[in-house]
Amino acid sequence: MASIHVQNDDGSAIPPVVALGGPSQSFAATIANGASVSGIIDLTTLRMFGLLMDPTAWTAAAITFLGSADGVNFYSVYDSTGAEINWTVAAQTYVLAANPAEFLGIRYLKVRSGTTATPVNQGAARVVTIIGVP
């Protein structure tokens, strides 16, 4: 996937985000038309800290996550209080994790439209970009 380039209002470039010691990287997670869950993202080389909601349209739903240690068996991701990690999103927004440490133990990740109890199928293929640092 191409790098994300951000510009100031005057058109001058903003340097890549630097956090936790390195420049940001991105990986695309596609949710197919009529589906609620993306394909697998391997987080081996990435510490996730946000999402870029690039689609110009988004069938209204929160974003939740499925995590896996082996890339085969996926489970809904909950925080240490027992609450499902649930992000409010909209099309064409950049959403930062409230606590990036919640994703450190996840090797493989899927993005879900909706929650465990109520998944929401998207009305077209949607690309959600995972942003993180090496």
The per-residue pLDDT for range 21-52, each reduced to its tens digit, is 456 788 889 999 999 999 999 988 888 888 98
Q: Where are the beta strands (DSSP E) in 1-134?
A: 6-7, 13-14, 18-19, 22-23, 25-31, 41-42, 47-53, 63-68, 75-76, 86-87, 93-96, 108-113, 126-133
User: pLDDT at position 133, please?
Assistant: 81
The CATH number of domain 20-133, selected from 2.60.40, 2.60.120, 3.30.300, 3.40.50: 2.60.120
Q: Would you say 105 and 22 are in contact if contact means Cβ atoms under 8 Å apart?
A: no
User: pLDDT at position 124, please?
Assistant: 93
The per-residue pLDDT for range 67-106, each reduced to its tens digit, is 999 999 999 999 889 999 999 998 888 888 878 888 888 9
Domain boundaries of the chain, sorted by first residue: 20-133
